[in-house]
Amino acid sequence: MILLPEPGPTLLAPSWVPWCASAVGQDAPPPKGAIYIDDIGSAGRPYDVVEGVALIGVTGMIVPSFWYIGSSYVTGCNCLRLQLAIAFEDPQVHAIALVVNSGGGLVSGVADLADWIVEAKAAAGKPVVSILAEFAYSAAYWLASAADSISVPRTGGVGSIGVIMVHWDLSAALAEAGIKATVIKAGARKADGNAYEPLPNDVQERWTGECEVLRRLFAGSVAANRAAAGATLDLDAVLASEARTWEGPAGTAEAVAQGFADIVLAPDKALQALIDHLNAQRSV
């Protein structure tokens, strides 16, 4: 197993933690069909356009920076912002659909990107909808909440509005293997959370507190975004969810009833509904 390089808070659905941990540090060729970010100008639009709707994918693990657009495994906040910025200025684009299928990712970059989406769509005057191809958990849900509406398929899911952090204590395993690690530091807190010593209680308490601060930031953003979209959802209700997920036919229906999504709808039908709405506006 490949461990995360250092402990730190993440916005991941619990089931995605092992997968993302194993993905870190893997060496692989560029995703097939992906666009290198520096080639955007010569490669044409970094998204597909269907009847005036720009389709922008939010898939796989969400990270602050990535250098390819179109990967099924990783979405960089920098790439997503660039795609959206171009779409907002594109005269052939009248609406944007975030096509989401992600269990979340790292904290860094997500809060600022979600805020920017809210501001940029208002400035551009173009609607943004989140069409879940299946699910949007944690960081992916935070980004999805910045849209004007969220549709979720009946077999999909939403939620996981919380923060998770994993500390790996390898001290017993190393001792059993006859290996002794000596941590040399300058600064009393420099080695806090290292994997070669048990995690001190005071460090765990501090990190738990930091995770709670991030959870409240996350929940506050979701509550504000969903309220702006017309949902009857407030901060207390988001916090009361305790980072649960809503999935499957019963769960997605409950999510809609509570305001965490707007409609249970297959992705193709959600896209067609948006296209029909645009066509109706043009005919007025």
- Hey, is 280 helix, strand or coil? helix
Q: Are 129 and 270 in contact (CB under 8 A)?
A: yes
Distances (CA, A) of 99 to 168, 194, 198: 34, 38, 42
Q: Cα torsion at 8, 20, 151, 225 (round to 10°)?
A: 10
Q: What is the mean pLDDT of residues 70-81?
A: 92
Matching residue, tokens 């395993």: 173
Residue 23: predicted pLDDT: 53
pLDDT band at 281 (very low <50, low <70, confident <90, very high): confident
189-236: per-residue pLDDT in tens?
Answer: 999 999 999 999 999 999 999 999 999 999 999 999 999 999 999 999
Q: Which residues contact 183 (CB under 8 A, 6 or more apart)?
A: 191, 194, 196, 197
Q: Which residues contact 182 (CB under 8 A, 6 or more apart)?
A: none
158-197: per-residue pLDDT in tens?
Answer: 999 999 999 999 999 999 999 999 999 999 999 999 999 9
The length of the chain in residues reads 284
Residue 92: predicted pLDDT: 96
Domains of the chain with bracketed CATH: 10-283 (3.90.226.10)
Instruction: Tell me the HSE value of 25 on the side-chain side, using a 13 A CA sphere.
Output: 8
Whole-number CA gyration radius for the chain:
21
Amino acid at 71: S
Residue 266: predicted pLDDT: 98
pTM here is 0.90
30-39: per-residue pLDDT in tens?
Answer: 666 677 777 7
Report the catalytic residues.
138, 190
Q: Are 143 and 62 in contact (CB under 8 A)?
A: yes
> How do beta strands 53-63 and 95-106 pair?
parallel
Q: What is the mean pLDDT of residues 62-78?
A: 91
135-157: per-residue pLDDT in tens?
Answer: 999 999 999 999 999 999 999 99
Answer yes or no: is pLDDT of 2 > 90: no
